[in-house]
Amino acid sequence: EDKVVQSPLSLVVHEGDTVTLNCSYEVTNFRSLLWYKQEKKAPTFLFMLTSSGIEKKSGRLSSILDKKELFSILNITATQTGDSAVYLCAVAGYGQNFVFGPGTRLSVLP
Amino acid sequence: GAVVSQHPSRVICKSGTSVKIECRSLDFQATTMFWYRQFPKKSLMLMATSNEGSKATYEQGVEKDKFLINHASLTLSTLTVTSAHPEDSSFYICSASDSGGLGTDTQYFGPGTRLTVL
């Protein structure tokens, strides 16, 4: 059965801290892994990862995929209160649709 | 854990026909369901929010007469794309929330439905 597990489910940090969010998966015929940030309405697309070991970076956010160990991490450095959100990991397989993880709820305190 | 299913997982239809997509919460009561559409660059656009027993709230720019949403029970919401056209071809994803009954207002996402309109 395809599944995505995220950890931790919730996290509280202070501004300036660095956080690492984890996503592990089991999916048939893996095609890609996606990270989203969800604040109030629609999740905002962050990264799509298809190859192992290649870090994707956007500002203070970065992510990397390990297809051998079946996991991905999302790093946020120098966190700000605006980073507070639910971070969703989703995995897509060829010929299949998405499997979303439960999300990690990040709270960044001033 | 909370599971949301969608049916069908993929559908191909002719232009001008209507297509119904079902979203079900399998093991919890979903007081609120959300319908999203995914665009080519993977962004998700919220189309509408539906609460059981009441009319859906549509986002700006989403035609409510074209995308009919019905949330008839606490476990089922349907999205009907009426008079579908090729530009409606997309990936439609639903999510469900129990609005706090499971301890949080977490949204649980379904696997999506891929619609192709010929």
Confidence of residue B78 (pLDDT cuts 50, 70, 90): very high
| Res. B102: pLDDT tops 50 | no
Confidence of residue A16 (pLDDT cuts 50, 70, 90): very high
Q: Tokens at residue B99, please? A: 């609005």
Express each pLDDT in A17-74 by its tens digit: 999 999 999 988 888 999 999 887 678 889 999 989 989 999 999 999 999 999 999 9
Rg (CA), chain B: 14
Q: Tokens at residue A12, please? A: 């509280």
Put simply, the answer to whether B104 touches A105 (Cβ < 8 Å) is yes
| Res. A81: pLDDT tops 80 | yes
| Res. B73: pLDDT tops 60 | yes
Put simply, the answer to whether A36 touches B107 (Cβ < 8 Å) is no
Backbone angles phi, psi at B55, to 5 degrees: -70, 150
CA B84 from chain centre, in angstroms, equals: 15
Region of poorest pLDDT, from A46-55, A75-84, B8-17, B42-51: B42-51
Per CB distance under 8 Å, which residues of B are interface residues toward A? Answer: 1, 6, 9-10, 36, 41-46, 59, 91, 93, 104, 106-109, 111-114
- Which of B43, B46, B111 is the closest to A99 by Cβ? B111
Element spanning B116, H or E: strand B113-117
CB-based contact (8 Å) between A40 and chain B?
A: no
Mean pLDDT of chain B: 88
Confidence of residue A96 (pLDDT cuts 50, 70, 90): low
- Which of A44, A48, A102 is the closest to B1 by Cβ? A102
Q: Find chain B residues with C-beta within 8 A of A100's C-beta.
A: 108-109
